[in-house]
Structure 1
Amino acid sequence: MSGHPGGHGDADGLPWDVLLPAVGVALVAAGYLLLAARARRLNPRAGWSRWRTGWFLAGCGLLAAGLLPPVAPWAHGDFRGHMAQHLLIGMYAPLGLVLGAPVTLLLRNLPPEHGRRLTAVLRSRVAHVAAHPVVALLTGVGTLVALYFTPLYDTLSAGGAHGLLHAHFLLAGCLFAHAVAGPEPAPGRWSVPRRLVVLGVAIAAHALVSQALYGGWGTSVRAPVDEVRGGAELMYYGGDIAELLLAGALVATWRPRRTPAGVRPAGARGAQSTPESEAYTTTLSA
């Protein structure tokens, strides 16, 4: 977004819009590492996957890259920087964060009674709707349409509401990544083919939005044409890469339930049996 001056600094002159995101991301990463170490200590046999830890830390790194210099100042003055920031915060970072299975890690560290309460919230109707692939898709695509095809982008630029927009991008990205390829259980989890269809629709929608931006068809972004076209190209190619990574994660995390021959698996069709689902089961039965 353009025209946003740097934030006021602290006593040493460090801008708050640099200090606060850096501290926030560092605290999240440190908290995850502490919980992972505690999970290994509490249950050495089960441990905690270092791959999960690596994914989560990678997500934190990508989030920090989107919120801190040099990307953040670039985003404030150039639409191409805004789009790079959107990709990092809303598409790449969420994939790493979701693959880190933070809810499962939290459940392994909570006392049983608190774990049951959290699981009840996660299985509530509200969570069911929020985690639905179509809802997650509409949330993400609808934001892009509202942002670039109405005066909303320029309004937010003038109002300096970047933090709210970043939070929305991150939350929407995490919901979509979880709905499509999340390793953790979700209410009414769709089968892999159906989730691939949703991902295909998302790819097509991002392509249409980026092409409309490039051609200037119905868009309301007030920025130089070369910046808008450059941002559209970043959305087109960068979005494709992010969605291909999401498709790879979906296939890689798919674990069909294994049952003896002739025995029909319990629950919905296409159910998965994973270490993450076992954590939920253990919490409920404790």
Structure 2
Amino acid sequence: MNDQWVSGPVWIPEAPPSWATYLAPTLQPIPLIPAIAVVLGALYLAAAIRLWSMGRSWSVWRTAVFLLGCIIIMITMGAGVEGYGLRMFSVFMFQQLTLMMAVPPLLVLGRPGTLLLRATPHRGLGRLVLRLAHAGLRSRAARIVLHPAFMIPVFLVSFYGVYLSGIADAMLPSWYGHVTLELLFLISGVLFTVPVLSTDPLPVKQSHLGRLLDIFAEMPLHAFFGVVLMMATTPVVDFFGTLPVAWDVDPITDQGIAGGLAWSYGELPSVLMLLIIMVRWQRDDTLTSRAADRRHNREGTPELDAYNAYLEQLRQRSERHDRQR
């Protein structure tokens, strides 16, 4: 269906939205983001297969998790849901939360950075790729974009800035602007998740406490924005204020659903990341304690022994002083 509100190579469904039409395998004329997901999944799987063929170990679980993230991107951006997301606030919000909150943890848990370093050959083009990867890890730009002082404002802009400043109304009427926003959502979600959840080599590694603080700082952002949407009685984004008549969808009701998704669906991935961080913290503390116990059993406790020797010297000095008296 042609739509006067969206320009560019787009296809918008004619049928009213339903689960069947949402999940219908209907690609847009230019399925850019699904194609990116296919390429990422293929590269990751090729690298894993290369390690396995060389007799080197690589986690099947991490491979499955990364590929699951790619599949979710393909479905969210490649099925009929993308057509409805071009015009419906609730669907677009679902896509945004999926790209920013649900997919990045799956991609990051796959440890693509470590796989890249292990599977890339150290000759020819592979040598150049490794040099670029190491240069990126040491760069000042990587330290900046992965710092909470950069990422928290990006999350604020992704919700409040995009929808309340007119950016959405300026970009969404064009396919190019629509896809640009979707890519920015995915990139910002990955950049936020990497320092919080990644075990890949990083320019700066945060403590467990720092990661918890980052999660707690992010969690209220989209939840409060969801409340704003649910309480609004007029369209927050003018672009979503008029929907195709054939869909029989009330824009204000749809906006309320979008707010409910931001308040509920957006919190679940954050809670799961919070649990992962706490489990890792407890595990690392246990391993550190056991290592300290083994070291004490093997080497003793020099600090405590020195302190006891000092107390013994004081006792002997006191006894000599008493005998001289």
**Superposition deviation, residue 245 in structure 1:** 2.0
Match of 2:30 in 1: 17
Match of 1:246 in 2: 273
Which of 118, 134, 149 is matched with 1:119 structurally?
134
Which of 160, 166, 184 is matched with 2:182 structurally?
166
**Superposition deviation, residue 186 in structure 1:** 1.8
Equivalent residue letter for 1:79: F
Equivalent residue letter for 1:131: L
The answer on 1:7 being equivalent to 2:9 is yes
Which of 141, 161, 166 is matched with 2:156 structurally?
141
Match of 2:50 in 1: 38
In structure 2, relative to structure 1, the CA distance for the partners of 1:145 and 1:109 (3 Å cut) is same
- Residues in 2 aligned to 1:181 and 1:128: alpha-carbon distance in whole angstroms: 16
TM-score of the aligned structures, taking structure 2 as reference length: 0.71
Which structure has the larger Rg over C-alpha atoms? 2
In structure 2, relative to structure 1, the CA distance for the partners of 1:195 and 1:185 (3 Å cut) is same
* Contact kept? 1:65, 1:88, Cα under 8 Å: no
Which of 193, 205, 208 is matched with 1:177 structurally?
193
**Superposition deviation, residue 177 in structure 1:** 0.9
Number of equivalenced pairs: 256
Structure 1 unpaired stretches of 5+: 264-286
Equivalent residue letter for 1:16: P
The answer on 1:80 being equivalent to 2:93 is no
* Contact kept? 2:222, 2:266, Cα under 8 Å: yes
Moved over 6 A (4+): none
The CA RMSD over aligned residues, in Å, is: 2.6
In structure 2, relative to structure 1, the CA distance for the partners of 1:133 and 1:51 (3 Å cut) is farther
* Contact kept? 2:102, 2:269, Cα under 8 Å: yes
* Contact kept? 2:5, 2:173, Cα under 8 Å: yes
Which of 232, 240, 256 is matched with 1:229 structurally?
256
Match of 1:131 in 2: 146
Secondary structure, in 3 states, of the residue corresponding to 2:200? coil
In structure 2, relative to structure 1, the CA distance for the partners of 1:8 and 1:219 (3 Å cut) is closer
The answer on 1:196 being equivalent to 2:212 is yes
Summarize deviations over 1:144-167 as a string: whole Å, max 9, x none. 111111111111122331111111
Summarize deviations over 1:33-72 as a string: whole Å, max 9, x none. 1100112223x24x11111101101110111122112210
Match of 1:96 in 2: 106
